[in-house]
Amino acid sequence: MGVEIRESPVSEQAYAEMEAFVYDYLDASVENEDDGGRMRWYPWHSAEYRYNHILNVVDLAEHIADREGANVDVVKIAALFHDIAKLEADQDVHAEEGARVAREYLSTHGDFAQSFVEQVCQVIAEHSYQGPLADVSLETRCLIEADIIDKVGANGTALMLLRMGYEARTHMDAAEMVQRVLERGKDASHRVDSDTAESLVHQRLTRVKWFQEWLEEEVPNMDHEGFGGQP
């Protein structure tokens, strides 16, 4: 019995155009605000960071979807648009706003089936869901898991250490900040549902634990509670 080769509804050129649209939309969201963008002084609220996060989530979501048997095209496009409204809308409505933007784009660019557009938009609208992942579609679960995973591991550690500078902390607080990443990773391990996502979380937690151990070995006065003494 042969394997059916299903042609993707999104060509490489169409996807490249979507990527450009998402970045331009994020950039315009920042530039159009009188104060220079919501929390622009935190780099992870800039267009550059948000776009990088989106691309990370696309890669993770596509990997999880492929391993778990989800519709990879739906998951990939939903991941690309999932945070497009993050810099202009309040946190509690950014998912719905993102779905609205995606629907407008997909309905006016290309010739996508309405069922495909609606499925993509549903996944985007539900990606902030905080309940059990068994209650959502497989495609939505893949996106939620990818979004969670990007915040842990080496990437999450780098961002947390970067945050120290913006909070006027010294490097002696680094172990405390890394511990926050570990705690976030442990929470993620309880939240994700698929075998693929659980494996990714375990991998990333292991890397953070190694870094924390090396850090505390090289800086003896450092501990999980932060540095309270004098050098």
pLDDT in tens, 152-195: 888 888 888 877 767 767 777 777 888 888 898 888 889 999 99
CA angle, residues 173, 199, 59, in degrees to nearest 5: 85
Whole-prediction pTM: 0.87
Quick one: which of 122, 50, 56 has its CA closest to 89? 50
Q: Is the residue at 59 inside a domain?
A: yes
Quick one: which of 175, 178, 198 has its CA closest to 188? 198
Selected residue with higher pLDDT from 42 and 49:
49
Domain that holds residue 80: 12-143
- Domain end marker among 83, 111, 143: 143
pLDDT digits (tens, 9 = 90+) for 60-105: 999 999 999 999 999 999 999 999 999 888 888 999 999 999 999 9
Domain identity same for 117 and 167: no
Domain identity same for 36 and 128: yes
- Domain end marker among 143, 178, 207: 143
Please name the residues in contact with 81: beta carbons below 8 A apart, sequence gap of 6 or more.
18, 22, 98, 99, 101, 102, 105, 120, 124
Please name the residues in contact with 167: beta carbons below 8 A apart, sequence gap of 6 or more.
none
| Residue 203 near residue 190, CB atoms below 8 Å | no
Q: How far apart are CA 11 and CA 194, in angstroms?
A: 28
- Domain end marker among 143, 169, 192: 143
Q: Is the pLDDT of residue 231 over 50?
A: no
Domain identity same for 132 and 43: yes
Range 207-212 average pLDDT: 89
Q: Is the pLDDT of residue 230 over 50?
A: no
